[in-house]
Amino acid sequence: MIDPIVLAERGLVPDLLLRHGIRRELAGRLVQEGGGDLSSNEARRRQFRYELRHSEIAINTGDANTQHYEVPAALFELMLGPCLKYSSCWWDEHCESLADAEQAMLEMYAERAQLADGQKILDLGCGWGSFTLWAAARYPASHITAVSNSSGQRLFIEAQARQRGLNNIEVITCNVGELSLTQRFDRVVTVEMLEHVRNYRDLLANVSTWLEPNGLMFVHIFCHAYLHYPFDGGWMTDNFFSGGQMPAFDTLMHFSEHMRMVDSWRVNGEHYSKTLEAWLEKLDDNKTQALAILKGAPNPKVQYHRWRMFMLACSELFAYRGGQEWFVGHYLLTPGLEAS
């Protein structure tokens, strides 16, 4: 019997059946991770946090590059919005398009991170530069230092900055676990990078030395309401999230030795699901061009369908139970210890 995943990767399984199978997998994940009694579930999460404290800051960074960040920018230009924001957008009542939703979320970052012109800003895990380029244009007297583990992303952002006449951007190519900075920043912004990090304690210790004493760190991560688990096997891990994890909404609050929590917000998962559906629609509309971009892959059609499956799986995840199980967490932190 042929593996159903093999059939799906060939484009032979209708989306309706794929979505049904994904929802069954999600229900199984909830049972697997949270089906025990409260004490055993908490003991498992406590053990995982212990393992994170004794891990490297980041692992499998080469795999993450191969799976996401060294993929040609042209593919992302086909499926993302005009800002190339490769993370959840915000669909308020005024948003009529993906472009509107990108802008709405970037505006939310500015408000929640308390950004102002003239600040020194560190964009940690900058992706294709959606926040960096937006902030550089919005705050011309600010200087933005962007960090990516991908040389391709650095070159893309630098080219975009030149085209837009932005001279207040510096892009560094570095694994966040090896990043060493001597200057201090007023703000650190990190969007959907901490899911790829392991040792939050050591990373936040580093960030505390990069921030001014009254500086702020704004974090955007996807998370589960209460479950915390690694991506430790299976199709998604092998193809898209090697070395990653699914934090719980309160995970960062357990690593407060060097940074204390100022505020936190929950962003309903349906905003991310709608974002992913918009990406999927754009990818489908540009299938011919996408296959041409992927022609260097061992099997372009399989790669194309893997990207479709990835977006379908993530969309169903964030839409599950009305976006209340898996969603996006926003956090504001500042250097110092939590009050006892």
Higher pLDDT, 83 or 62: 83
Mean pLDDT, range 184-208, rounded to an integer = 97
* pLDDT-based confidence at residue 309 (cuts at 50, 70, 90): very high
Amino acid present at 272? Y
Query: Does 337 have pLDDT greater than 80?
Result: no
> What does the alpha-carbon distance between residue 277 and residue 191 come to, in Å, rounded to a whole number?
20
Reference 331, options 262, 279, 278, 285; nearest CA is 262
Residues 127-146: tens digit of each pLDDT: 999 999 999 999 999 999 99
The stretch 39-63 carries a mean pLDDT of 86
In degrees to the nearest 10, what's the CA dihedral of 58, 62, 63, 69? Answer: 100
Q: What does the mean pLDDT of the chain come to?
A: 94
How many Cα neighbours within 13 Å face the side chain of 51?
Answer: 12
* 83 pLDDT more than 70: yes
pLDDT class for 20, splitting at 50, 70, 90?
Answer: very high
Amino acid 312: pLDDT: 98
Per-residue pLDDT at 275 exceeds 90: yes
Residue 321's CB is within 10 A of a number of other CB atoms, namely 12
Q: Are the CB atoms for 332 and 263 separated by under 8 Å? A: yes
Quickly state the pLDDT bin for 68 (edges 50, 70, 90).
Answer: very low
CB within 8 Å of 102: residues ≥ 6 apart: 81, 82, 83, 85, 89, 130
For residues 304 and 330, give the distance between their C-alpha atoms in angstroms, rounded to a whole number: 31
Percent of the chain with pLDDT over 90: 84
Residues contacting 7, CB < 8 A, separation 6+? 13
The pair of three-digit structure tokens given for residue 274, joined into one six-digit string: 């709608």
Q: Using CA atoms, how far apart are residues 106 and 85, in angstroms rounded to an integer?
A: 9
Instruction: Give the CA count within 13 Å in the CB-facing half-sphere of 238.
Output: 5
* Contact present, 260 and 339 (Cβ < 8 Å): yes
Which of 168-177, 184-193, 257-266, 329-338 is the least confident region?
329-338
Whether the pLDDT of residue 225 is over 50: the answer is yes
Examine the pLDDT at 97 and tell me if it is beyond 90: yes
pLDDT at 16: 97
Question: What integer pLDDT is reported at residue 114 of this predicted model?
Answer: 99
User: What pLDDT is attached to residue 1?
Assistant: 64
Section 163-168 average pLDDT? 98
Answer yes or no: is pLDDT of 93 > 70.
Answer: yes
pLDDT above 70 as % of the chain: 96
- Which residues in 83-94 are b (16+ Cβ under 10 Å) and which e? bbbbbbbbbeee
Could you give the CA distance from residue 157 to residue 180 in angstroms, rounded to a whole number?
A: 21
Q: What is the pLDDT of residue 65?
A: 44
**Beta carbons within 8 Å of 274's beta carbon, 6+ residues apart:** 89, 91, 101
CA 90 to chain centre: 14
CATH superfamily of the 4-335 domain: Vaccinia Virus protein VP39 (3.40.50.150)
> Which sequence spans correspond to the domains of the chain?
4-335
Q: What does each C-alpha distance from 233 to 129, 209, 240 come to in angstroms? A: 30, 35, 11
Identify which has the larger pLDDT, 334 or 70: 334
